[in-house]
Amino acid sequence: MCTPAQLQTIARPGEEETKTIARALMRSVSRRSVLAGALAFSVAPLVSRVPAFAAAGMDFAEVAPGVFVHQGRYELQSPQNRGDMANASFIVGDDAIAVIDTLGSAKVGADLLAGIRAITDKPIRYVINTHMHPDHVLGNGPFKADGTAFVGHHKLARGLAARAETYLASSKDMLGEDAFAGSEIMLPTLSVQDRTTLDLGGRELVLEAQSVAHTDNDLIVTDTKTGTIFLGDLLFSGHVPTLDGSLRGWLSLIDQLERHAPARVVPGHGPHAMQLPAALGDEKRYWSTVAGDVRRLIAEGQTLSEATKTAGQSERGKWAMFDQYHVRNVTAAFAELEWE
């Protein structure tokens, strides 16, 4: 048997080859961004007339008093978007602020920080990551400071550590050296076992660790003062949802969330703010369709490869990034549901 070190050497693709792959991916992105843009336009934000702020190249909408949301693009990571393809938010208390997700590179994370600083100079007491995906965590680095805690689900550290190498390598490939420079994986310094309350001074955030859904480390953040719930990637709108956890878990969580009536929810990908239960409608329809099609194909004795060609195809055209993620979603759904 060979040693892990040897395996590592063998497993790592050569730089030239990864560049080739990255170039191929970039080409496909630029082709598809036209479609993504068109779809993004058709998805109207459900909360309109929000004050907008643009500072340091970073746009925010104040969706509720003291609640600022930046909307990322519906794209894959690229040198052009520098990892700015998810939503990032911050909440301002009397004494301090909390940041929720930091986007997908150190550079764009630094822009986020500069954008926040253009609005408030209060100390950043918490940086909360809603889950482990690179487009939400790779911007953490620039927020490192005395007195800043990095907060996540109790399984976030394990999830990130197991994937650190892969995430960094693939992000570097996709972003290119320039946009990737300085990006690092930071493990949380404060873990949420079940439920934790954070105090920003006259304003409390409630953090709740979820069971497996989008990933196995999804965290929901509630700003009790304004009734704003940050769902992270438990809510996609416009951008096709992606599955890296459990389809059954996610659908059952959607059922629970539908019973809530907060003032607004903030998706991980989608408009700045939306309203329940309508906000969950498209996502629920997508996953119910995928689950229904896949279950039927399994019952008919069909194979995974057949399922990737037909399951959920009625959703084509309804989402940005469908071509990039849908077949992968079906694969994950099939591998999960065939064990029912």
Partner 1 sequence: MFNHSSRSIFSIAAGAVAALLALSLPAFADDDDAWPSLQKEIYGTRPIIENDGTVLIDAPERAEDPAVVPITIRVPPSVKGPLKSMALIIDKNPAPVAANITFGSAAGDGGGERRMATRVRIDTYSYVRAVIETEDGALHMVKTFVKASGGCSAPAPKDADSESAGLGKMQVRSFDPALPSTPLREAVIMIKHPNTNGMQMDPISRGYVPARFIKSIEVKRGDDLVFRAKTGISIAANPHFRFTYQNANDNALSVTAIDTEPTTFIGASGQVAAVSQ
Binding site for partner 1 (CB under 8 A): 1-2, 4, 6-14, 16-18, 20-21, 155, 157-166, 169-170, 212, 215-216, 243-246, 249, 301, 303-305, 308, 327-328, 331-332, 335-336, 338-339
HSE-up (13 A, CA, CB side) for residue 201: 13
Residue 282 amino acid letter: D
3-class secondary-structure state, position 302: coil
3-class secondary-structure state, position 161: helix
Least distance to partner 1 from the beta carbon of 336, Å? 8
Residue 27 amino acid letter: R
CA angle 214, 167, 290 (to 5 degrees): 30
What are the distances in angstroms from CA 21 to CA 81, 84, 168, 180, 184? 18, 21, 15, 16, 22
Least distance to partner 1 from the beta carbon of 148, Å? 23
Two structure tokens written together for 242: 């992606």
CB closer to partner 1, 31 vs 117: 31
Give the Cα separation of 221 and 224 in Å (integer).
Answer: 9
Question: Beta 219-223 vs 228-236: how paired, if at all?
Answer: antiparallel
CB closer to partner 1, 122 vs 158: 158
Question: Beta 67-70 vs 88-92: how paired, if at all?
Answer: antiparallel
Question: Beta 219-223 vs 264-269: how paired, if at all?
Answer: unpaired
CB closer to partner 1, 77 vs 89: 77
Residue 66 amino acid letter: G
CB closer to partner 1, 21 vs 52: 21
CB closer to partner 1, 170 vs 226: 170
Least distance to partner 1 from the beta carbon of 61, Å? 33
CB closer to partner 1, 34 vs 299: 299
Least distance to partner 1 from the beta carbon of 161, Å? 3
Least distance to partner 1 from the beta carbon of 3, Å? 9
Least distance to partner 1 from the beta carbon of 110, Å? 27
CB closer to partner 1, 102 vs 215: 215
| Cβ within 8 Å of residue 138, ≥6 positions away | 83, 102, 103, 104, 105, 106, 109, 167, 171, 183, 184, 185
Least distance to partner 1 from the beta carbon of 304, Å? 5
Give the Cα separation of 143 and 127 in Å (integer).
Answer: 8
Least distance to partner 1 from the beta carbon of 188, Å? 12
Residue 253 amino acid letter: L
Question: Beta 190-192 vs 149-153: how paired, if at all?
Answer: parallel
CB closer to partner 1, 22 vs 47: 22
